[in-house]
Structure 1
Amino acid sequence: MVHYGHSNQLRQARAMGDHLIVGVHTDEEIAKHKGPPVFTQEERYKMVQAIKWVDEVVPAAPYVTTLETLDKYSCDFCVHGNDITLTVDGRDTYEEVKQAGRYRECKRTQGVSTTDLVGRMLLVTKAHHSSQEMSSEYREYADSFGKCPGGRNPWTGVSQFLQTSQKIIQFASGKEPQPGETVIYVAGAFDLFHIGHVDFLEKVHGLAERPYVIAGLHFDQEVNHYKGKNYPIMNLHERTLSVLACRYVSEVVIGAPYSVTAELLDHFKVDLVCHGKTEIVPDKDGSDPYEEPKRRGIFCQIDSGNDLTTDLIVQRIIKNRKLLQTLDVPHCPARGGGLPARPASVGASFREQ
């Protein structure tokens, strides 16, 4: 999976140089060393490219980073999080570049991991919706996804994510709409930010020559009202960072009203309101949440050409979990009921100019 923890790693990495090149592994390489990935390699290539700090993506990057790879792409050094990544036979994948002094580390993002998110999907709980303490059952279940037979994996330790204004500032563009820009408003849960969201936002972004896209994110309780079960999987703060990291989004409304009101449209001087092809669920009073933009003639439905939804991702997770329980995958807790620590492993390399 690609989540805001990966985005934050890439943000830090980009700040170390002038040009960020991100190598993304193939499905075959990930399956060999970690287990089956949640997203296909083509989906991951595009998702990583959509992160606004990424300048270039290298598809099918080798799992072991070598000096030859760095030289091939004119990179001065490579960057990885402060966790250990091992090959199927237990070797450090960055051993060669470390010995050559061409390796740097960035801090991992506390409180988020692929395994934690998977734990939320598979254990029906709403503990992640707010700042309340995790139940002992949830913590024990989520922890089980992050522990290998050899001990505790530093990448997958589970702790609750605590949002700060500084983190939002780091992710936000800080730019206001400029004269001549078209202000486009979209709204939704944007849960488990995925390639379906990327394709939709890319289409929306392409509607204007100079777009300024504002994404309204609904409160957790609102999302749970129209999605049910234990949705959203990611809480509002986590979803905010995921969307802010997307290069097609200029601004985020945190806790946007479910119905797009006249006040919201006037405040942000919205020129166009867009929605995808997913069902529009009526508001609690039975009204159309897009009634006002439709009345103004500024509503537009967009077909992204991608039918992937958060529900389908959860189905993929469950399918992968069942598969892993039948396999003997090194360095992951598969047979104990968990998914691999980083099934969509992302490596980053840099070229200083």
Structure 2
Amino acid sequence: MNKNCHDREPGQRAVRVWCDGCYDMVHYGHSNQLRQARAMGDYLIAGVHTDEEISQHKGPPVFTQEERYKMVKAIKWVDEIVPGAPYVTTLETLDKYNCDFCVHGNDITLTVDGKDTYEEVKKAGRYRECQRTQGVSTTDLVGRMLLMTKAHHSMEVTLDYQQHRDNLSKDAGGRSPWTGVSQFLQTSQKIMQFASGKEPAPGDTIIYVAGAFDLFHILPIDPRPFQTPFIPYVIVGLHFDQEVNHYKGKNYPIMNIHERTLSVLACRYVAEVVIGAPYSVSADLLDHFKVDLVCHGKTDVLPDRDGADPYAEPKQRGIFQMVDSGNNLTTDDIVKRIIKNRLEYEARNQKKEAKELAVLEAQRRKELKEGQEH
């Protein structure tokens, strides 16, 4: 909360915050922006742009607008979403939803003709800025998926990807700090910021769900499909990168274990995460977390390295349940969307970075001119 929120007198109106975006391929960077925005007020409204507007200003989105609405709604810091929010943020929009100000990261968002989408609200003093999360962007994730045919996690892949991004940057005249590739560095503080820290209450049903949870699309882990009369306390077991690669192959996972940890913790339905959970659900794990129910989606369950059923123990205890989330979208499906339209997405990424570099150059010239005048 900001100072105004803490010092507000009884009966004083709550501070309402607006935060809009494409939220395409929702990742922990989006979640971190929304977390910071929520901390600036009491009620956070997330405006999500339509496919049509995104295609006009940036290029084709990877996810459909309906998919993106669901994903943003699942982020724990969002109080309300506005589907079909205008791409250019205006005072009219803020007033319509009774928002005091809007929040955006310290990068730039441009229209198709290169104008700042927040120009109007900035001039009116109703704009706040938060820190952009370094090391991830939708552009970066798309780039990773364009290399799915390469060997997994090898130095060749890293160099090939870096060369690919360098080539795009050379064509654009440099490197953009917002779409360039950088390694995400996990910290204990960041995990604490994302974690709920809540212990299970007496009577809660402790549910364990394990998997790769690669990309945010497989969330939310909505508790409604779980057949239990009690409040579910959901624990997610995340498999290490090497384990995921063993049973998925190719260049999976797209996101590493550190990135996937934050993505899962950002989901409002997740209470706890086991980082590097064993592939087979063991008796020790079930006993340690006092698990009441183990769930798995409708995707195929592959045997462990020794050929054993990874869910043999919970099945023997009678606490295993298959759950239909109602969502048939898989990571493979998303990768296929990218590969199918490879040239279109590469062109989109290159165009985006070129516009960012043009703005940076204009800012540099302006600062240089101002310095000379003084």
Q: Same fold (TM over 0.5)?
A: yes
Structure 1 runs not aligned, ≥5 long = 335-353
Query: What CA distance in whole angstroms lies between the structure 2 residues aligned with 1:302 and 1:80?
Result: 37
Shift of 1:133: 11
Query: What CA distance in whole angstroms lies between the structure 1 residues aligned with 2:50 and 2:176?
Result: 23
CA gap of 1:143–1:197, structure 2 versus 1, over 3 A, is: farther
- Cα RMSD after superposing both structures: 2.3
Which of the numbers 150, 170, 175 marks the counterpart of 2:198?
175
Which of the numbers 126, 141, 156 marks the counterpart of 1:102?
126
In the alignment, is residue 187 of structure 1 matched against residue 207 of structure 2?
no
Q: 2:223·2:232 contact (CA, 8 Å) conserved in 1?
A: no
Query: What CA distance in whole angstroms lies between the structure 1 residues aligned with 2:117 and 2:312?
Result: 54
Structure 2 length-normalised TM: 0.82
Which of the numbers 299, 302, 320 marks the counterpart of 2:320?
299
Q: 2:50·2:84 contact (CA, 8 Å) conserved in 1?
A: yes
1:65-99: CA deviation from partner (whole Å, max 9, x where unpaired): 00010000000000001011110111110000000
Which of the numbers 28, 40, 43 marks the counterpart of 1:19?
43
Q: 1:276·1:302 contact (CA, 8 Å) conserved in 2?
A: yes
Match of 2:181 in 1: 158
SS of the residue aligned with 2:270?
A: coil
Q: Which amino acid aligns with 1:212?
A: Y
Q: Which amino acid aligns with 2:33?
A: Q
In the alignment, is residue 117 of structure 1 matched against residue 145 of structure 2?
no
Match of 1:87 in 2: 111
Match of 2:153 in 1: 127
Shift of 1:207: 4.2
Query: What CA distance in whole angstroms lies between the structure 1 residues aligned with 2:195 and 2:270?
Result: 9
Match of 1:77 in 2: 101
CA gap of 1:330–1:152, structure 2 versus 1, over 3 A, is: closer
1:234-256: CA deviation from partner (whole Å, max 9, x where unpaired): 11111000000001111000000
Query: What CA distance in whole angstroms lies between the structure 1 residues aligned with 2:166 and 2:226?
Result: 39
Greater helix percent: which structure? 2
Q: 1:66·1:96 contact (CA, 8 Å) conserved in 2?
A: yes
Match of 1:343 in 2: none
Shift of 1:150: 6.2
Q: 2:338·2:345 contact (CA, 8 Å) conserved in 1?
A: no
Query: What CA distance in whole angstroms lies between the structure 2 residues aligned with 1:285 and 1:304?
Result: 29
Q: Which amino acid aligns with 1:66?
A: T
Q: Which has the higher contact order (CA 8 A, sep 6+)?
A: 1
Residue identity over aligned pairs, in percent, reads 76
Which of the numbers 352, 356, 361 marks the counterpart of 1:332?
352
Shift of 1:321: 2.5
Shift of 1:308: 0.6
Q: 1:147·1:156 contact (CA, 8 Å) conserved in 2?
A: no
Shift of 1:328: 8.3
Which of the numbers 267, 278, 288 marks the counterpart of 1:267?
288
Name the count of aligned residue pairs: 328
In the alignment, is residue 217 of structure 1 matched against residue 275 of structure 2?
no
Match of 1:258 in 2: 279
Query: What CA distance in whole angstroms lies between the structure 2 residues aligned with 1:236 and 1:264?
Result: 19
Query: What CA distance in whole angstroms lies between the structure 2 residues aligned with 1:329 and 1:165?
Result: 32
Which of the numbers 281, 285, 288 marks the counterpart of 2:306?
285
CA gap of 1:53–1:246, structure 2 versus 1, over 3 A, is: same
Match of 2:18 in 1: none
Match of 2:361 in 1: none
In the alignment, is residue 33 of structure 1 matched against residue 53 of structure 2?
no
Query: What CA distance in whole angstroms lies between the structure 1 residues aligned with 2:333 and 2:254?
Result: 13
Match of 2:367 in 1: none
Q: Which amino acid aligns with 1:192?
A: L
Shift of 1:192: 1.2
Query: What CA distance in whole angstroms lies between the structure 1 residues aligned with 2:74 and 2:60?
Result: 23
Shift of 1:148: 7.7
Match of 2:339 in 1: 318
1:147-173: CA deviation from partner (whole Å, max 9, x where unpaired): 883653332121101111111001000
Query: What CA distance in whole angstroms lies between the structure 2 residues aligned with 1:37 and 1:150?
Result: 25
Write out aligned runs for 1:53-64 (5 A).
Answer: 53-64=77-88
Query: What CA distance in whole angstroms lies between the structure 1 residues aligned with 2:273 and 2:127?
Result: 34
Shift of 1:208: 4.4
Q: 2:168·2:350 contact (CA, 8 Å) conserved in 1?
A: no
Q: 2:213·2:238 contact (CA, 8 Å) conserved in 1?
A: yes
Query: What CA distance in whole angstroms lies between the structure 2 residues aligned with 1:214 and 1:293?
Result: 15
Q: 2:207·2:232 contact (CA, 8 Å) conserved in 1?
A: yes
Q: 2:200·2:206 contact (CA, 8 Å) conserved in 1?
A: yes
CA gap of 1:95–1:9, structure 2 versus 1, over 3 A, is: same
